[in-house]
Each structure stands twice: as C-alpha cells, then as structure tokens.
Structure 1
Amino acid sequence: MTFILLFAVATWAGAQNALAGGGSFLTLPTLMFTGMDALAANVTSCAALFPAQVATGWTGRKLARGANGLSLRTLFAISIIGGAVGAAVLLATPRGLFAQLVPWLVLFATIVFAWGSFFRKPGETPTHLRAPGAALAQFLISVYGGYFGGGIGFLMVAALTMAGQGVRVASATKNVLAGVMNAAAVAIFLFSPDLHWPQALVTSAGATIGGIAGARLIHHIDEKILRIFIIVVGAALTVGLFLRAP
C-alpha cells in the first residue's frame, strides 16, 4: 500500500514538474513517510526524479528555446556548470543556508511572475533581464538545483519569462534545463548509501509517466490558465517552505 501511494504521488509530482515545478515537495515528505530520514529522502528524491526530468525535457524539446540573446546550447552549458558547483557545495557546506534562503527566493519569484503575467502595463516591454542577467540567474538557479533543487522549475520559469520567453516556451525550456543541472548531483548520489533503491525505482517510474503526460499537456493548455496554475503552485510552495524552514 505504501508503494502504491508513493507511485501515485510521484506520478502527480512528475506532471507538476513538467507544468510548473515543485514536484520534489510532494515526493520528499512521501519518501519520509516510508521511513527514511530527511537526508535520505532528499537524496532518493533527487535521483528518482532525474529520469523523469530527462523524459519530460525530451518530450517537450521542440518548444525549448534560448532567451534574450542566449542560445539554448549556452543555457545548457550554464546549467551543467551550475549543477556541478551546487553538488560540490552540498558536499562542502551544511544545507541550512540554502534551506533558509529558499522560501524567500520562491516568494520573490512568485511575486515577479504574477506581476509580469497580470499587472504589467500593456505598453511595457516584456523583457526585464538582458543576456548577462539571464545567464547569471540561470547559473545561480543551477547551483541551487545541484544542491537541493526544490522549486527550481518555478524559479526558472520566472527567470525565463523575465528574459522574454512566453510561459509555454519557458515551461518547456526549464524542463530541458532541469534534467541537465541535476545530472552532476545524481552522478554523486548514485554511490551514496542514503539512496534507497526500492523507493527510488517506484518514484522514478511514477514521475516519468507523469512527466511525459505533463510535457504533452503544455501543447494544449490555455496560456492564461497555465499562468494562473503556476502562480497558485508558487504561492503554495512559498507557504510550505516557510512552514518547513528551520
């Protein structure tokens, strides 16, 4: 019964990651419910969601684009480097610092995305991040992604839309980049004793199915509905993160 619940939650998490991000905040507490501690749940969740991220990014790859002068290949390289740096930071420093910053980062991203989607005046330019700013934002998000990863999808959608992408393209682009930035961390976690393989395999199967379904849904969902959905997810993530903050 526990594994059935884990599979169901992972399926929803995979779809949520494809559409807006934040799936790890579903899988993490569910994995802890199966009996592992927070560290093991974090390691297992990251490794388990990685195949789903790759599948989701591959499914929606035709929509993925560069942003404001940065090619998709450049964003790809930035994400690999940032993810590797984040993994190194994870091994060298306590995770408490990032845990304290995450609620504020997601709150900021939610406010910025909501403002850009519904409160910006029609005559204003939709581009607020030039190429250097977009590159720096993607690098910082990638570092955090390699370190812990909760909410990276939402932060990327906010940054990419600020760099001029439409929300549908931004959602597809962040799906591609999310898998890239987590590759270095997962390579390390595969050799960690905190990785629980039975739970990881169940989670991975469910998340992959949900991720592919979510990536295909991006092609059909109304963009305004997707914007509202992303803001609701961001608000829920913000509340949850502040409640969980140390």
Structure 2
Amino acid sequence: MTLHLLILVAGIWAGAQNALAGGGSFVTLPTLILSGMTPLAANITSTVALFPGQSASGIAAAKLVTGAGKLPFRALFVISLVGGALGGLLLLSTPSKVFEHLVPWLVLFATVMFAWGSFFRKTREGSANLGPIKTSVAQLAIAVYGGYFGGGIGFLMMAALSMAGVPTRNAAAIKNALAGVMNASAVVIFVMSPQLHWIAAITMGCGAIVGGVTGSWAVQRINERALRVIVVCIGVALTIGLFVRPV
C-alpha cells in the first residue's frame, strides 16, 4: 500500500511538473526503479503512465499548433509518429542489461538538455534557419530518441522549432502536441511488452492526470524558474545515483 501511494504521489508530481516546467520523467523513473523495476521496465512503465497527461496538454493547446520549417503540421505529425515507433521498437530490442548501462548516460544527456533549455538557450523568433529537409531530419531524430527514452525531448523540440522560425508560444504548443504523438506510437508498442507493469502504470497515470490539471491551474501562481532549478537538481542527483549504483 505504501509503495502504491508513493507511485501515485510521484505521478501527481510528474503531471504537475510537466504542465509547469517539463521533466516529469525525472520523478517517475527513479520512483519506479526504487520500487524494484529494472531501468528498462521503469522507462516503459513511465512512458505509458505519463502519456494521457501529455495528450491532454497537446489537445488543450491545439489552436496554437502550426507547421514549421515550411512543413505543414500533418507532415510533422507523421514524422513524429514514425520516429516514435522506431524508437519504441529499438528500446524493446535492447537487452535489459545493455539499457541499464545506457540509462545513466541518457539521464545525464536529458539533464544537460533540460538545464540548457531552461537557463541558457536563446530563442530567435522569426528567423528560419532550418528548411523543410533539415526540419524533417531533426524532428525524426528527436522522435526516435523520444520513443527510446524521452528525457529532454521538449527542449530539443523547442530548440529545433525556434531555429525553424516558429514563435515561442506556438513552438510550445507544437512541442506538446508532437510529444503526445511520438509517445502514442511508443505506447502502442509498449502495451504488448511483458516489461510493462500495468498496476503501477495505471496508478501513476491517474496521479499524472490529477497533477496535470493541478499544474495547469497553478501555472500562473508558481515560480517556474525555481521549479526548473529543482528539476535540474533532481536530474543531477539521479545521474550520480545511477552511475554509482551497482549494475
């Protein structure tokens, strides 16, 4: 009962964090690993659990969604769907022990991307540097990474969309929508995996929905910069913990 309560609380926190600043997987991944799952099972379960909240965020901002890099949104949609599926298949074909050795580096990369996107990235609206081909390649690479692991994809997409000349407000909406799309294809694959822990995914998913609604309400009331600092600290602590953890 205590374990399920912890998973529920982690889901609430992650849902609110994704609505406010992103980086919810920094909460769900260590919680599920601490519950006894392998990093591979924890990553699969976390992706499935957080998917409903991500979809709701994308739908809520649908009116701000546009194309990018001279590509219509439907092209970005298809690219994200294909890339997410490829990443999910790649993850399932990765042996658990191999992924266990990869995950500290993936978390480190995601933490660096989150910190860079939060505090160092400078947006340049209206100056499209990426054409349709480069935008397609960038989105496909991000989608494959998103289906495989997912940490930091928001900031990778924000950077790519900004370089394609998309205004920040629209880029955030497109990012939320495409994150849901790429995770949708991964989730369809993951639900057939024996590595998925259904009870934990449902418990955490319910918490994430509650957290997402709460986070949407609190977005104008909480210091987002302070929350981003907390996320980076969690990422650093998780990275160190995973590197020193015996494998």
Bucket of the pairwise TM-score, normalised by the shorter protein:
0.7 to 0.9
The residue that corresponds to 2:154 in the other structure is 153
Contact 1:154–1:234 (Cα < 8 Å) also in 2: no
Preserved CA contact (<8 Å) 2:13 2:208: yes
Match of 1:107 among 112, 120, 136: 112
Percent of aligned pairs with the same amino acid: 47
Deviations for 1:190-238, whole angstroms, at most 9, x for unmatched residues? 12222212211111011122224445666x589xx76x46864774476
Q: Which TM-score applies when normalising by structure 2? A: 0.79
Could you tell me how far apart the structure 1 residues matched to 2:67 and 2:211 are? 25
Call closer, same or farther: CA 1:130–1:239 in 2, change over 3 Å. farther
Is 1:49 aligned to 2:50, yes or no?
A: yes
Write the distance in 2 (CA, Å) between the matches of 1:171 and 1:233: 21
Q: Number of matched residues?
A: 238
Match of residue 122, structure 2, among 117, 120, 124: 117
User: What's the C-alpha RMSD, in Å, of the aligned pairs?
Assistant: 3.2
Shift of 1:45: 0.9
What is the CA-CA distance between 1:103 and the residue it aligns to?
2.9
For 1:48, what is the secondary structure of its paired residue? helix
Distance in 1 (alpha carbons) for counterparts of 2:34 and 2:52: 22
Preserved CA contact (<8 Å) 1:128 1:163: yes
Q: Cα distance 1:237–1:30, how it changes in 2: closer, same or farther (>3 A)?
A: closer
The answer to whether the 8 A contact 1:79-1:138 is kept is: yes
CA distance, structure 1, for counterparts of residue 128 and residue 118 of structure 2: 12
User: For the Cα contact (< 8 Å) 2:65–2:73, is it kept in 1?
Assistant: yes
Matched ranges for 1:74-223 at <5 A? 74-93=75-94, 94-95=98-99, 96=101, 100=105, 103-104=108-109, 107=112, 110-111=115-116, 114-117=119-122, 126-215=127-216
Structure 1 unpaired stretches of 5+? none
| Contact persistence 1:3–1:202 (CA under 8 A) | yes
Residues 90-130 of structure 1: per-residue CA shift (max 9 Å, x gap): 23344355763563465357446644438x8xxx9654433
Q: Report deviation, 1:243.
A: 2.3
SS of structure 2 residue aligned to 1:192? coil
CA distance in 2 between partners of 1:175 and 1:215 (Å): 13
Distance 1:233 1:241, change over 3 A: same
2:142 touches 2:156 (CA, 8 Å); kept in 1?
yes
Q: Does 1:239 align with 2:236?
A: yes
**What is the deviation of 1:142?**
0.4
Asked whether the equivalents of residues 110 and 158 of structure 1 are also in contact (C-alpha less than 8 Å), the reply is no
Q: Give, in angstroms, the shift of residue 55 of structure 1.
A: 1.6
Q: Are the equivalent residues in 2 in contact too, given 1:20–1:154 (CA < 8 A)?
A: no
Normalising by the residue count of structure 1, what TM-score does the alignment of the two structures yield?
A: 0.79
Contact 1:20 1:233 in 2 (8 A): no
Q: Which amino acid aligns with 1:205?
A: C
* Distance change >3 Å, CA 11–CA 105, structure 1 → 2: closer
For structure 2, the 5+ residue unaligned runs are none
Comparing 80-89 with 59-68, which one deviates more in the overlay? 59-68
